[in-house]
Structure 1
Amino acid sequence: MKFLIVGAGGIGCYYGARLLEAGHQVTFVARGAHLERMQRHGLKVVHEDLHFNRAVDAQAMTPLMQQHACAEYDLIMLALKSGATSDWLTLAADWLNRAETPVLSLQNGVDNEPMIAAALGNARTLGGLAVRIGGHIIAPGHIEAKGPAQIVMGHWPQQAESNTALEALAQTLNAAHIPARITPDIRYELWKKLLINNGVNPLSNGVNPLSALTGLDTRSLTADPVLGRTVYAMMQETAIAARADDVSLSEADIDDMFALISQFDAIKTSMLVDREKGRPLELDEISGAVIDRCQRQGCHATQTELIRCLLQLEVRPVQWRPLTA
């Protein structure tokens, strides 16, 4: 198969390396120093079960659209930050609309698939999530990843019956040592992942209401008796928010996801890495989605609102001045 991976960060590069190792064709869309390094010196991906270091096809989006038709690709894997989805759909609109190539979103949040479906239609929209993987650019052209790196995917918004093309894709991914499974209800799976993302990502970014705690990984965060309770409360708020999308998350779902993140190997969350590198945080796409949907239902996501507020204050610090007579 021929894959186009848009957003060649830690997640996209890891999956692309796996596909290349399995003999597929992969083009990576990147930018800046990371793109330049890949074009000149190739891509290096280090994982406990993979050591990849070779030349790759890496391009910027605009030149790629000028030189290649969308129809040349069997699948577009979208691994951009969620805040970039709308801009990419606008930039690539004409190019995308000349083909029927499906787009598989492997992004944080629950709002990417609706945007893709609005632009391209439900038939071309595959919802997806990368599960139990930590992957980051540690230097231009150099990726470190860890974890089983599973993919859960499904047709948007639901899949009533089996689909031969999707089943073939799952077989292709599994054969490339990317554990993949198909779900008939991808919205439910996306909201289940948001339980973790909203509960852990903002807090492990290093801000806590009661202390100057910074840089905690997921395991350290959930093991702390106070912060662990805060994480669980934010997960409960996420479950309430999901009802606005007609998704029902039970207390058992919350318990399962809390146990999962508590037992998973300690990783740096994407927000923590973004903060360390001075990049924009996915606050609106993760915490904002929970806050907005709770408000639609006439309630408040109190813990999530507080953590987002503190993070925003940290990003845009206010200068303190003493009170003078």
Structure 2
Amino acid sequence: MTELCDWLRAGSVPVLSLQNGVDNEPLIAEMVGEARVLGGLAVRIGGHISEPGKVFAEGVAQIVMGAWPAQQPKDDPRADLLKVLEVAFNEAGIPTTVTRNIRYELWRKLVINNGVNPLSALTHLDTRSLTHHPEFGKVVYGMMAETVKASEADGVNLTRQDLDDMFELISNFNAIKTSMLVDKEKGRPLELDSIAGAVLRRCEQLGVDAQYTFTVNALLRQQQ
């Protein structure tokens, strides 16, 4: 992204982010201005590079996107482009919807990512094994609850219902290796800063503890 800064600043078209985490859009906004930022995420998908040039994915693989941080109540110039992209993705066979509050959706995805990604990398267990484990299931729920609390720092204010919905979703989803576990097995850098780090920074800002996330994050960093 840094290498494209000058090129992006010189342009005028919006930039769509389809990455995990809640810190990507703010960084893009610093480069091109908030009015040119579209946020997005992929949900209900587990995907991995099975071999060079080949990707194995399972699940619905749905895209949710929207003007960041939320679509303006008045005419938002990004709305027309979002409609064009929605049609294009759907015609390509990728189920896609547009939301008026993408920041809310990004945080809901982070609830799941922080709940299972770091712990799976630490335990080498898949998502179903974690969520149905008598002890680790409680840790997953605890890390998800800490993520819900952290969302308050961004003014999102997820609820207990969001927490329970996300825990039920990942508990009933296919048993998959998380991307962080795959990275760990392949000796690649882990996305700790953008997942657990994002939660810890905001909990610190709010002055609240995030003991589950702090402990799992610390153990993983020790192993790197």
Aligned to 2:158: 249
1:156 maps to 68
1:102 is displaced (CA, Å) by 2.1
Considering only CA atoms, is the larger Rg found in Structure 1 or Structure 2?
A: 1
The one-letter amino acid of 2:221's match is Q
TM-score normalised by structure 1 residue count: 0.66
Q: 1:294 aligned to 2:203?
A: yes
SS in 1 for 2:135: helix
Aligned partner (choices 179, 182, 186) of residue 273 of structure 1:
182
AA of the residue aligned to 2:191: E
CA-to-aligned-CA distance 1:7-53 (integer Å, 9 cap, x gap): xxxxxxxxxxxxxxxxxxxxxxxxxxxxxxxxxxxxxxxxxxxxxxx
Is contact 2:8–2:31 with CA below 8 Å preserved after alignment? Answer: no
* TM-score normalised according to structure 2 size: 0.95
CA deviation digits over 1:178-231, x for unaligned, max 9? Answer: 1111111111111111100101101111x2xxxxxx321111110111111111
Show the counterpart of 2:40.
Answer: 128
Match of 1:192 among 85, 105, 108: 108
Give the match's secondary structure for 1:164.
helix
> Which residue does the alignment assign to 2:8?
96
Q: State the partner residue of 1:67.
A: none
Q: Comparing both chains, which one has the higher relative contact order based on Cα–Cα distances under 8 Å and sequence gaps of 6 or more?
A: 2
Aligned partner (choices 170, 181, 184) of residue 261 of structure 1: 170
Give the distance between the partners of 2:30 and 2:10, measured in 1 at CA.
16
| Aligned alpha-carbon RMSD (Å) | 1.2
Which one-letter code corresponds to 1:142 in the other structure? Answer: K
Q: Give the alignment of 1:185-224 within 5 angstroms.
A: 185-205=101-121, 207=122, 214-224=123-133
Q: Aligned with 2:42: secondary structure? A: strand
Match of 1:108 among 8, 16, 20: 20
CA distance in 1: counterparts of 2:186 and 2:13, whole angstroms: 34
Q: Please give the alpha-carbon distance, in whole angstroms, between the structure 1 residues aligned to 2:16 and 2:81.
A: 13
Query: Offset of 1:138 from its aligned partner?
Result: 2.1
The Cα of 1:253 is off from its aligned counterpart by: 0.4
Q: CA deviation at 1:145?
A: 1.4
Q: Report the alpha carbon displacement of residue 167 of structure 1 after superposing the two structures with TM.
A: 1.3
One-letter code aligned to 2:171: S
For structure 2, the residue ranges without an aligned partner over 5 or more in a row are none
The percentage of aligned residue pairs carrying the same residue is 59
- Summarize deviations over 1:123-162 as a string: whole Å, max 9, x none: 2211011101122222221221111100010001110347
Counterpart code for 1:203? L
Residue deviations 1:65-105, cap 9 Å, x none? xxxxxxxxxxxxxxxxxxxxxxx2x2112222232232211
Runs of 4+ in 1 over 3 A off after TM superposition: none
Structure holding more helix per residue = 2
Give the match's secondary structure for 1:230: helix
Match of 1:284 among 188, 193, 208: 193
How far, CA to CA, are the matches of 1:217 and 1:184 in structure 2?
33
What is the aligned length? 220
Tell me if structure 1 keeps the 8 A contact 2:17–2:25.
yes
Shift of 1:297: 1.0
